[in-house]
Amino acid sequence: MNHTKGGLVIFTANSHPASRELGKRIAERLGVELGKVQVYQEANRETRVQIQESVRGKDVFVIQTVAKDVNTTIMEMLIMVYACRTSCARSITGVLPYFPYSKQCKMRKRGSIVSKLIASMMCKAGLTHLITMDLHQKEIQGFFNIPVDNLRASPFLLQYIQEEIPDYRNAVIVAKSPASAKRAQSFAERLRLGIAVIHGEAQDAESDQVDGRHSPPTVKTTGAIHPSMEIPLLIPKEKPPITVVGDVGGRIAIIVDDIIDDVDSFVAAAETLKERGAYKIFVMATHGILSSDAPRFIEESAIDEVVVTNTIPHELQKLQCPKIKTVDISMILSEAIRRIHNGESMSYLFRNIGVDD
240-277 pLDDT per residue, tens:
778 888 899 999 999 999 999 989 999 999 999 999 99
Residue 350 lies in a domain: no
Question: Which of 10, 26, 29 is closest to 18 using CA atoms?
Answer: 26
SS3 100: coil
**pLDDT for 341 beyond 90:** yes
Residues 19, 79, single domain; the answer is yes
Q: Count the neighbouring beta carbons within 10 Å of the beta carbon of residue 26.
A: 24
For the chain, how many structural domains are there in total?
A: 2
Question: Which of 66, 67, 94 is closest to 80 using CA atoms?
Answer: 94
Residues 73, 193, single domain; the answer is no
Please report the pLDDT score of residue 1 as a whole number. Answer: 44
Please report the pLDDT score of residue 109 as a whole number. Answer: 81
Helix axes 70-86, 114-125, angle to 10 degrees: 30
Residue 223 lies in a domain: no
* Model pLDDT for residues 61-86, shown as the tens digit of each residue: 999 998 778 999 999 999 999 999 99
Q: What is the pTM of this model?
A: 0.87
Question: Which of 138, 96, 156 is closest to 337 using CA atoms?
Answer: 96
Residue 269 lies in a domain: yes
Residue 224: pLDDT band (50, 70, 90) is low
Please report the pLDDT score of residue 299 as a whole number. Answer: 94
**By residue range, what is the domain housing residue 107?**
8-151
Residues 87, 159, single domain; the answer is no
Residues 130, 87, single domain; the answer is yes
Q: With b meaning 16 or more CB within 10 Å and e meaning fewer, what string describes 304-326?
A: ebbbbbbbbbbeebbebbebbee
Residue 344 lies in a domain: no
Residues 53, 117, single domain; the answer is yes
Residues 30, 146, single domain; the answer is yes
Residues 82, 185, single domain; the answer is no
Phi, then psi, of 280 in degrees rounded to 5: -145, 140
Q: What is the CA radius of gyration of the chain?
A: 23
* Model pLDDT for residues 156-209, shown as the tens digit of each residue: 999 999 999 989 999 999 999 888 999 999 999 999 999 999 987 755 444 444
From the number of C-beta atoms within 10 Å of its C-beta (0-12, 13-18, 19+), residue 339 rates as middle
Residues 75, 188, single domain; the answer is no
d(Cα 273, Cα 183) in Å, to the nearest integer? 19
Please report the pLDDT score of residue 357 as a whole number. Answer: 73
Residue 278 lies in a domain: yes
Residues 84, 174, single domain; the answer is no
Please report the pLDDT score of residue 234 as a whole number. Answer: 72
Residue 219 lies in a domain: no
**pLDDT for 131 beyond 80:** yes
Residue 134 lies in a domain: yes
Residues 16, 137, single domain; the answer is yes
**pLDDT for 237 beyond 80:** no
Residues 160, 306, single domain; the answer is yes
**CATH code at 288?**
3.40.50.2020
Residue 210: pLDDT band (50, 70, 90) is very low
Given 91, 118, 151, the domain boundary residue is: 151
Residues 255, 147, single domain; the answer is no
Higher pLDDT, 186 or 216: 186
* Model pLDDT for residues 14-60, shown as the tens digit of each residue: 767 777 889 999 999 999 999 999 998 899 989 999 999 999 999 99
Residue 343 lies in a domain: no
Phi, then psi, of 83 in degrees rounded to 5: -65, -40
